[in-house]
Structure 1
Amino acid sequence: MPLELILGGVRSGKSGLAERRAADGGGPVLYLATAEPGDGEMRERIRRHRQRRPAHWSLLEEPLALGAALNDLARRAPAPTVLIDCMSLWVSNLLLAGEKEFDRQRPAFLEALPAYPGQVIVVSNEVGLGLIGMDPLTRRFADELGWLNQELAARAQRVVMTVAGLPQVLKGLALPPDRD
């Protein structure tokens, strides 16, 4: 299971980079979206992401059960490249779903990753460079996302941090040059 983790802040270029990486594979791509359109601003973000992606890519919207989704996708032949965007929204969804759901879904996802027979590209926000949250839920979110990012980075063959649209490889082989 080749795993690539792409980290960055808000509007750092991480999703665009992940989409280019998925397209570079040349095979089928499935975009696994964790966002839920809870308000107008989020609906607009989702619309922009959809507009940017190639029309021939498959889409699966799954706000909670990423492990089950990967297990189902593993049965496809050939297994598509899966681009998961993003861990930040997924952790938020899990925290809001409650402890029982969080305690069930997080390990299920981490267990499904190594069994997936194709490329997986995961997008996540880097929250460790920001301020400490004012309330317990915000602090818990930052802690949980930071711990998840560390676990994903340990498993990944390549980890890239995007800053102002510039990818910086933290682990693994350098990125191939852009074809532009």
Structure 2
Amino acid sequence: MQLFIGGACAGKGDIVTARFPDACWLKAGTLGVVGKGDALAGWCERLASAPVVVITGWADWLARALADEGDDDRLRQRLVDILQVMLEAEKETGGEVVLILPEMGRGIVPLASEERRWRDLAGWFNQDAACRADAVWYVRHGLAQCLKRPC
């Protein structure tokens, strides 16, 4: 798994497109994790048909997930479970998942508790994904800096 993190309009999509020109792109909202077995089978099918799957749109997915789940710990575990399914599918198929994640921690802390919760969850998800990724890139001004090897 590779991870590209950066702020809005930082150039993440352009860099990923250049590195993985034949990748299949998905929005995080299409993930639909039902049960671990079902999810793994679905991911294995995706990676078998397109050896690189790029997933973007996490900010919107997180906002909707927060509205549906009041327990932050339960939601964070759900995200960790999604990451684990992706990693297992990579091992099974030899394909690669590339995540494009938003960096929200460099700005002003929102006053509204819902917005702070959204920002916190995004930060936790970025940490959990970075911990599990083989390579992590930070993108700013259209430049990618390797934070975790192999890059």
Q: Normalising TM by the smaller chain, what interval?
A: 0.7 to 0.9
Q: Secondary structure at the match of 2:45?
A: coil
One of 16, 21, 27 as aligned partner of 2:14: 16
Q: Could you tell me the TM-score, scaled by structure 1's length?
A: 0.68
Contact in 2 for aligned 1:19/1:83 (Cα 8 Å) = no
Q: Secondary structure at the match of 1:99?
A: coil
1:111 equivalent in alignment to 2:111: no
CA distance in 1: counterparts of 2:103 and 2:40, whole angstroms: 23
Residue by residue over 1:114-134, the C-alpha shift from the partner in whole angstroms, topping out at 9 and shown as x without a partner, is: 202211100011111111111
Structure 2: state its 5+ residue gaps.
none
CA distance in 2: counterparts of 1:9 and 1:70, whole angstroms: 30
Aligned to 1:75: 45
Tell me the number of residue pairs that the alignment of Structure 1 and Structure 2 aligns: 142
Structure 1: state its 5+ residue gaps.
35-60, 175-180
Q: Which has the higher helix share?
A: 2
Summarize the alignment of residues 141-156 of structure 1 with structure 2, pairs less than 5 Å apart.
141-156=118-133
CA distance in 1: counterparts of 2:41 and 2:70, whole angstroms: 23
Residue by residue over 1:127-177, the C-alpha shift from the partner in whole angstroms, topping out at 9 and shown as x without a partner, is: 111111111111101111101100111111111111111111111144xxx
One of 51, 55, 59 as aligned partner of 1:84: 55
* Displacement after TM superposition at 1:92 (Å): 1.4
Identity, % of aligned pairs? Answer: 27
